[in-house]
Amino acid sequence: MDINILSEKIHHTLSTLRYGENPAELYEPIRYIMALGGKRIRPLLVLLSARMFDEDIDKALLPAAAVEVFHNFTLMHDDIMDKAPLRRGRQTVHEKWNANTAILSGDVMLVRAYQLLLHVEPDRLSRVIERFSETAAQVCEGQQLDMNFEQRLQVGIQEYIHMITLKTAVLLGFSLELGAILQGAPEADAGHLRAFGDNIGIAFQLRDDLLDVYGDKAKFGKQVGGDILSDKKTFLMLTALEQANQQQLQTITGWRDKTDETVAAEKVQAITAMYDELGIREQTEQQIELYFQRALQHLDAVQRPEENKVALRNLALQLMERDS
Amino acid sequence: MDINILSEKIHHTLSTLRYGENPAELYEPIRYIMALGGKRIRPLLVLLSARMFDEDIDKALLPAAAVEVFHNFTLMHDDIMDKAPLRRGRQTVHEKWNANTAILSGDVMLVRAYQLLLHVEPDRLSRVIERFSETAAQVCEGQQLDMNFEQRLQVGIQEYIHMITLKTAVLLGFSLELGAILQGAPEADAGHLRAFGDNIGIAFQLRDDLLDVYGDKAKFGKQVGGDILSDKKTFLMLTALEQANQQQLQTITGWRDKTDETVAAEKVQAITAMYDELGIREQTEQQIELYFQRALQHLDAVQRPEENKVALRNLALQLMERDS
């Protein structure tokens, strides 16, 4: 089965979900955010993982949708907290409606995610709910750490990796683990798939940090240097802060809080030059490679034939935009 | 077993709950709101219902705690939406910390409530999670309706009853149903207990509306007429709006939005006099009696000996502050 067919199944499943009707103020924002689209990468991971153990993946569709609904719940609430005006180029829910609506609609989305998870075999329900709940709490912890870090001047590299692991990676790991659990995979395989997802998630986030500075603007689709302009504590910045000499530190502190459009290009250029002096690009690429290789080792350790792993391996390569 | 022993068990169980440690900003607000106290009426209903079917109620303690954690999650989020400064005489979470913290800590509380529900017998888990989720979504619907009603001039009596049913009553109903499910009670009995709780919940909320105007200030512990001062659309006000003649309508509209302290006593007096003319007190008492009697009919219909029902019957009477 082609990966496009899986994507089509996910798309169809999501289109059949009914969240509720009355009051409309509660349910319309859910339909709105779910219709904004996105790559639906998490449900795809559920299905690809499930398919490694059993070709019949239809019974994994609703649990896969649960993960996507949960993910969009976190986006709805995070956008309030981050005061984000846009999501996928459209107004965020709290902007289009208001913060109260975004809080309450998000709450219902979390409940609906749990309800979608009820569509698993009864003897697997307890483990699914437990692992999902642990993951959900970790995602909240990650968001809180992210907010805490914004208020701090110094954040350690390991603290940062811990934060992105919780905020982003564990949900990818859980998606893969869920697919395995649903098909009755051995616990060791489910664990390796989770670890594969966790590590891919970290690598992917670090790559996101890298591309902000060294990405191809046309390909990346975002303004190059956006993180630099907003003084975001990315892996690159935190690494630079740890290794900078007096003069380089002054470059960083001198540009801090200067978010004015007129000096934007100059700021991005100055910080990038400092990154270049310190070899931040190469160091980041090394870290990405490290987590990517760790991920692949866990995929290798899954006790299934290579032909069952190839789709997941290719997706990982694709996420990293690599050929091999 | 005395009701005080059940309360003591609930108190002890709640004191043993561990929500998490890091980041502290996420978990401290949960400990804070849970420590504010309250009557813990919902877990008590779980236990009283459970005890009707099996004396061994210890296995119902963690699920009972789940309902209390969920209830406090709704308080934490509702207080943000209602911009409430105080909860049980102490600062609300969003006041003591900030709205973002209250959003995210609340989210984790909802997750923790689900985790506490995992402590049920495996073959009952699916039904418990499903019924809890349905109830949780209804509570959110009730809160949304309550916010909608604030923006409207006219709200029908039946709409109002529907709103308080969702916002307040169904969680009482679910608490009783949960106790029954946990002990393997027949479905009909679980349904009657839920209906008992739903109706008691409605009666209790109407009584709350009544006491705001006609309550004994010393006993009620709130300022008499607070709802009148804030133009709250209570059962009394909505009934008056439906039955008022031209002159009485002018009394209402004339006083609307007049929240100034200096005219407070005069406003409460004028609206109360208008209520008296219309016999609002008696009509409200009749409605309370109606729902209370419906509740008792459902309790009567439960297929257990009267001696097993007496504690629940007495608690209902106590909630209504009645002797019989």
Each residue's pLDDT tens digit, A79-107: 999 999 999 999 999 999 999 999 999 99
Residue B313: how many other CB atoms lie within 10 Å: 17
- Neighbouring C-beta atoms of residue B285, cutoff 10 Å: 15
- Contact call for B144 and A25, based on CB within 8 A: yes
Which residue has better confidence, B287 or A223? B287
B20, B77, B134 ranked by CB distance to A107: nearest: B77
Q: DSSP for A235-296?
A: HHHHHHHHH--HHHHHHHHHHTT---GGGHHHHHHHHHHHHHHHTHHHHHHHHHHHHHHHHH
Please check whether residues B1 and B150 belong to one and the same domain.
yes
CATH number at residue A274: 1.10.600.10
Cis bond upstream, residue B23 (ω within 30): yes
Same domain, A25 and A170: yes
A108 interaction partners in chain B (CB closer than 8 Å): 137, 140-141
pLDDT over 70 at B323, yes or no? no
Query: What pLDDT was estimated at residue B82?
Result: 93
Q: Which residues of B touch A106 (CB under 8 A)?
A: 107
Contact B200, B170 (CB under 8 A): no
CA distance B36 to chain A (A): 23
Q: What pLDDT is stored for residue B2 in this prediction?
A: 86
B214 secondary structure, DSSP code: H
pLDDT band at B1 (very low <50, low <70, confident <90, very high): low
- Residue B26 is nearest to which of A23, A101, A141, comparing CB atoms? A141
CB contact under 8 A, B26 and A144: yes
Q: Is B121 on the interface with A (CB under 8 A)?
A: no
Mutate: best of B18, B22, B103, B118, partner A, most A CBs <10 A = B103
Classify residue B192: in a domain, yes or no.
yes
Residues 6+ away with beta carbon under 8 Å from B96: B29, B32
Report yes or no: A150 at the B interface, CB cutoff 8 Å: no
Is the separation of the CB atoms in A166 and A139 below 8 Å? yes
Ranges of chain A whose pLDDT falls below 50: none
Same domain, B4 and B150: yes
How close B109 gets to chain A, by Cα (Å)?
9
Single out the residue of B101, B98, B91 nearest to residue B30, CA to CA. Answer: B101
Q: Which among B80, B81, B110 has CB closest to A110? A: B110
pLDDT for position B300: 98
Place of tokens 């008022």: B244
Distances (CA, A) of A109 to A17, A70, A324, B51, B247: 12, 7, 38, 34, 47
Question: What pLDDT is stored for residue A215 in this prediction?
Answer: 87
DSSP track, A163-225? HHIIIIIHHHHHHHHHHHHHTT--HHHHHHHHHHHHHHHHHHHHHHHHHHHHS-HHHH-S-TT
Question: Domain boundary residue among A151, A185, A219?
Answer: A185
* CA A262 to chain CA centroid, nearest Å: 32
Q: Is A123 on the interface with B (CB under 8 A)?
A: yes
B100, closest residue in chain A (CA to CA): A81
Render pLDDT for B195-241 as a digit per residue (tens, 0 to 9): 999 999 999 999 999 999 998 766 655 667 889 999 999 999 999 99
Q: What is the largest CA-CA distance in chain B?
A: 62
**What is the ipTM, given to two decimal places?**
0.95
Q: Tens of pLDDT along A194-234? A: 999 999 999 999 999 999 999 876 665 566 788 999 999 99
**Alpha carbons A264 and A225: distance in angstroms, whole number:** 9
Output the CA angle A94-A20-B232, nearest 5 degrees. Answer: 65
| CB distance A40 to A11 below 8 Å | yes
pLDDT attached to residue B261:
85
Please answer yes or no on whether A148 and B23 come within 8 Å at the CB atom: yes
Question: Is B24 within the bounds of a domain?
Answer: yes
Between A106, A108, A141, which is nearest B137 by CB? A108
| pLDDT at residue A222 in the model | 63
- CA–CA separation, B271 and B255 (whole Å): 8
Cis peptide leading into residue A23 (ω within 30°): yes
Nearest-CA neighbor of B285 among B190, B208, B199, B210? B210
Residues A137 and A86 in one domain: yes
**Minimal C-alpha gap between A19 and chain B (Å):** 10
Q: Which residues contact B265 (CB under 8 A, 6 or more apart)?
A: none
Nearest residue, CB atoms, B143 vs list A104, A111, A145:
A104
**Statement to judge: residues A149 and A11 lie in one domain:** yes
pTM for the structure as a whole: 0.96
Mutate to test the interface with B, among A18, A83, A93, A108 (most CBs of B within 10 A): A108
Q: Are residues B204 and B290 in the same domain?
A: yes
Query: B62-117: per-residue pLDDT in tens?
Result: 999 999 999 999 999 999 999 999 999 999 999 999 999 999 999 999 999 999 99
Range of the domain at B19: 1-154
Please state the rounded mean pLDDT for residues B261-273: 93
Q: Is A264 on the interface with B (CB under 8 A)?
A: no
Residues B101 and B144 in one domain: yes
- A31, A172: one domain: yes
How many whole angstroms separate alpha carbon A10 and alpha carbon A154? 42
Task: Please state, for a pLDDT cut of 70, what percent of chain B lies above it.
Answer: 97
Interchain contact A100–B (C-beta under 8 A)? yes
3-state helix, strand and coil shares in percent for chain B, rounded to the nearest 5: 75, 0, 20
What token pair was written down for B259?
């929240």
Whether B136 and chain A come into contact, CB under 8 Å, resolves to: yes
For residue B296, give the 3-state DSSP assignment. helix
- DSSP SS3 for A90: strand
Which is nearest to B58 in space by CA: B179, B176, B173?
A: B179
- Pairwise CB contact (< 8 Å): B103 & A114: no
Predicted local confidence at residue A73, as pLDDT:
98
The per-residue pLDDT for A216 is: 78
Structural domains of chain A, count: 2
Say if B20 is an interface residue toward chain A (CB within 8 Å). yes
Q: How confident is the model over B28-41, as pLDDT tens digits? A: 999 999 999 999 99
A118 touches chain B (CB under 8 A): yes
Cα B73 to Cα A67, A167, B30, B102, B107: the distances in Å are: 22, 21, 8, 9, 8
pLDDT > 70 fraction of chain A, expressed in percent and rounded: 97
End residue of a domain, out of B154, B178, B202:
B154
Cβ contacts of B134 on chain A, cutoff 8 Å: 115
Q: Which two tokens stand for residue A18?
A: 């009914």
Chain B residues lying within 8 Å of A134, measured CB to CB: 115
Note whether B120 and A130 are within 8 A (CB): no
Q: Is B17 on the interface with A (CB under 8 A)?
A: no
Is B114 touching A (CB cutoff 8 A)? yes
pLDDT at A261: 85
Q: How far is A143 from chain B (nearest CA, A)?
A: 8
| Mean pLDDT of the region B278-298 | 98
Question: What pLDDT band is residue B164 in, cutting at 50, 70 and 90?
Answer: very high
How far apart CA A237 and CA A29 sit, in angstroms, is 36
pLDDT (0 to 100) of residue A259: 83
Tell whether B315 is covered by a domain. yes
Strand partners, A141: none
The 8 Å CB, 24+ separation contacts for A296-300 are: A296/A196, A298/A192, A298/A193, A298/A195, A298/A196, A298/A199, A299/A192, A299/A193, A299/A196
Asked if B26 is an interface residue toward chain A (Cβ–Cβ < 8 A), one would say yes
Please compute, for residue B233, the number of CA atoms within 13 A of its CA located in the half-sphere on the CB side: 22
Q: Say whether both A18 and A159 belong to one domain.
A: yes
Picking from A170, A160, A290, A284, the residue whose alpha carbon sits closest to that of residue A232 is A160
- Check whether residue A191 and residue A181 sit in a common domain: no
Average pLDDT of the residues in B153-161: 95
Residues B29 and B123 reside in one and the same domain: yes
A221 touches chain B (CB under 8 A): no
Look at residue B111 and tell me if it is in a domain.
yes
Question: Are residues A9 and A69 both part of a single domain?
Answer: yes
Give the end of a domain, one of A185, A212, A245.
A185
Neighboring chain B residues of A66 at a CB cutoff of 8 Å? none
Partner A contacted by B152 (CB < 8 A): no
Contact B118 A137 (CB under 8 A): no
pLDDT for position B224: 78
